[in-house]
Structure 1
Amino acid sequence: MNKVNPAPYSLSQRTNSITIISEHHAWRTLSGVQTNDYYTYRNAILNGCHLQRASFDLRHPEEMVCDLSNLEPIYNGLFDEEIVRIWDYLNLTTIQISDTEVRRISGDGLSPEIAISGPSKTKLGNLKRKLVSEAFAHIRRDTSPTLINKAIRGITKSRLLTNTNNETLEFHNKFCAFYSKYISHEHWDSCPAFNTRHVYENHEIWSQIEKISKNKLFLLSAGLPIALGYLAATGDPNIFFSEVHRQNDSNLLSRDNAFQDIFPSPTSSNEPWLIIDKAYTGGSLRQAANTVRKKFGYDIEVKTVALFPKSFSAFMSADYAVYAGKLFEVKSCARRLDRDLWHIQLITGQPT
């Protein structure tokens, strides 16, 4: 079938009218709509429309080579200056990668992270190990973690959910039963929320976060293993979920409907809230804070924790931030941070 493109007539902000002509069926001419919005497409299919053409935008896999905001266990035995030297070395070598299929991930002010992307996850992993090994050799250190410095500089998603406790497992089952009504049946086997294997490990950060506010709101879907790790570590029953997807949501095609509420339903509307999420710009935290205020009133106390902030703006826009295994109250350290060097200063603890 050939598609004729007349002057588009906007049926809504998300569709254009088109004409579809079938040459092999006596030039049979039909009307149709064109959209790049998934929910508009799905509703049209449910109303009897037929899919005529599809294209796919596939995002390459990526590998985090070094992330100062959430360091891997391999860095736990190093001194601050050694970590900075390794980061400097990796920063330079990844910029100079000659492989045409692998590229350094770039962004606006993403200072702490050094990440690469390419068509093969296996190849990326091998390249990361090679680069990190070279970086450790550069400072004449072995890549095996040591006990010289016992500080845990990151929180890994390495704890098996099945190795937590009954309370955590029961909460996960309860959440899945609720969330299943938003996910297409054919995607239940592949939905990350329903197939969570690992959660974030126990860390002293969780007990510090527990004391800030009563209600803790985590954002799906990345927030589920974070929340389950927090619950397993603290036993705090006051955890809730909402969903914020601002762009490039890889799980969009698995949903029947968008989840735009809070689960479980809070029993009180005037208690303080703490919103916890990973942060690249801080936009999702701000959007979630607005959701809470719209639901419970603008005089409600809402604070935010930026987990592993990847930009200066993400750090500065939060009330608290978790960076390199430490909890920072942002306003108490904001004045001494330099916009261009903040990611190093939070490692060394000193102006650079």
Structure 2
Amino acid sequence: MTLFNVAGLRLAGPLLLFGGAFVVGPAQADWVLPTGANVQLGGGSVRLGCTDVQLGGALSLSGGSVGAARNVQVTAGAQLDVGAGTVDLAQQWSNQGSVSVTTGGVTRVASAGCPVVGSAGPVQLSAPVPVTVSIPGSSGGTAQVLVSGTGSCTVVPGSVQISNSAPALPANAATPLGVLRFNAAGCTGASVTVQVTYPVGSLSGLTVRKYGPFGPQPAPAGWFSPPGLSVSSGSGGDVVTYTVSDNGDGDSNSNVGEISDPMAPLWLGAAAPTPGNVQAVPTLGQWGVLMLVGLMGVLGVRRLRPLSSRRAA
């Protein structure tokens, strides 16, 4: 087997180069990018003729494409930046490294001599991993956030957070558990399912709402009940589940393929509940306390006067 090295690419098998495209011939060949390799397609394309991609280094498609692959393996420590580009494979996708997508994606589709093995269509880039996020404020504790996208739609690393910063709230509303936010990319025409697990009992008395545009276009932004909303309680915690679609109800990012999502359990009373859902007892301010003490003194004097008069008599 002959090895070729083109612009940092290590390929095995016959190779033709023309018009900005790499074409691997029909003989048995794999496209191997070893550890340390750093390759950018620069908008070009690679057609692999039903052979494998073995990525150990870094590959950026830069708007380009990898097509007619059989299997694609992204090994531990490797980086694949799909960006706005595309990867087409017929059979197995394996990702132990890092894969990032904006508006592009990875698709399982048949090519010449390469039948589909598995489910055809968009490929889920990696198994979703729950993220532990601190709950701000006096309630404390943590929440487990799991965002599962279809196809290439994945959560942007580091974007999941819960904060006290909230969009315009309804009158007398509060966010005792903070506002959840995250961003997802590679979601053109796709959706994400969001599952948030709060501490046991923390959702008691609260109403789950999402913020964003909803209803007929052009849709106004506001708080509403999200599609597919489910709220349950168990020994493992209070669980909120809902879905968000690209440019659908609640997607606060109008860019195609990108989803931004604020959600919060709202307290819709006149004041937020205290931890443990115990209602706070109203108290007087400093001046109110002084006035109360003075009033009690006046009442005490008035009660003593009749008693003094009777003793004098």
**Higher RCO, Cα 8 Å, sep 6+:** 1
- Pick the structure with greater CA Rg: 2
TM, length-normalised to structure 1: 0.20
TM, length-normalised to structure 2: 0.22
